[in-house]
């Protein structure tokens, strides 16, 4: 009999505890989330209260050093392609064009003084696929590819999630490719001309008599 009453008591306590938790959340929910920043002691209390935020009027602030949307400071990109190779889901696409010798000054240097040797007409990041793993930013030798604290960059149009950072227009890239092809064709012609001259010189050179063997 005593066990019977003990069970009733346990049940009543359990129900009262559950209701207490529910009521606590219920009354917490009347508080509105404020503007606490990450440096504010109340930052993590921002998740108390309403379960659903009145987005976009209400947002939980993100840290200033948050690692979210990618950004490439293309003026410092040397087109090495390491980020593209490191990305586990292939959401970076790069195309490069070698810089002609007389274009070196035009192409310029990175902010740490390194001469850039490639134009980067295409540097696209599909941020809809990006999982912000950071592998690309880790390998970037010039640290031009970085995460930013921007965490909300949703779009209605999927195509707007493809970010373009290239440093040449399509026409400029075409012109650089043609210029490079012309230079390479000239260099190849010169190489062949020299090879032909060397072959003629070798053919005209006096040949040495071969030594006769003992049996002849």
Give contact residues for ligand SF4 (rule: CB under 6 A): 70, 72, 77-83, 86-87, 89, 91-92, 94, 125, 130-136, 139-142, 144-145
Minimum Å distance from CB 143 to ligand SF4? 8
Residue 61 or 72: the one with the smaller Cβ distance to ligand SF4 is 72
163 in helix, strand or coil? strand
Q: Give the whole-angstrom CA distance, residue 187 versus residue 177.
A: 15
DSSP structural state of residue 147: E
Q: Give the whole-angstrom CA distance, residue 19 versus residue 183.
A: 81
Residue 112 or 210: the one with the smaller Cβ distance to ligand SF4 is 112
List residues bridging with 163 in a β-sheet: 125
Minimum Å distance from CB 113 to ligand SF4? 15
Minimum Å distance from CB 176 to ligand SF4? 17
Residue 33 or 144: the one with the smaller Cβ distance to ligand SF4 is 144
Q: Give the whole-angstrom CA distance, residue 181 versus residue 40.
A: 59
Q: Give the whole-angstrom CA distance, residue 118 versus residue 129.
A: 26
Minimum Å distance from CB 27 to ligand SF4? 41
């Amino acid at each position: 009999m005593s066990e019977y009453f003990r069970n009733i008591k346990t049940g009543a306590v359990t129900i009262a505890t559950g209701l207490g938790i529910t009521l606590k959340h219920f009354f917490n929910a009347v508080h509105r989330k404020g503007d606490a920043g990450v440096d504010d002691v109340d930052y993590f209390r921002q998740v108390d209260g309403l379960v659903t935020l009145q987005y976009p009027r209400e947002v939980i602030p993100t840290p200033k050093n948050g690692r979210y949307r990618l950004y490439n400071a293309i003026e410092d990109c040397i087109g090495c392609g390491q980020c593209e190779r490191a990305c586990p889901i292939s959401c970076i696409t790069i195309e490069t064009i070698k810089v002609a010798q007389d274009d070196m000054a035009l192409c310029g240097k990175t902010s740490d003084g390194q001469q850039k040797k490639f134009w980067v007409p295409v540097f696209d990041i599909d941020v809809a696929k990006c999982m912000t793993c950071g592998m690309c930013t880790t390998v970037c030798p010039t640290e031009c590819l970085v995460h930013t604290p921007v965490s909300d960059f949703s779009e209605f149009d999927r195509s707007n999630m493809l970010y373009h950072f290239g440093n040449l227009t399509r026409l400029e890239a075409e012109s650089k490719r043609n210029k490079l092809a012309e230079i390479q064709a000239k260099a190849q012609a010169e190489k062949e001309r020299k090879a032909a001259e060397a072959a003629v010189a070798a053919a005209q050179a006096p040949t040495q008599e071969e030594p006769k063997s003992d049996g002849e």
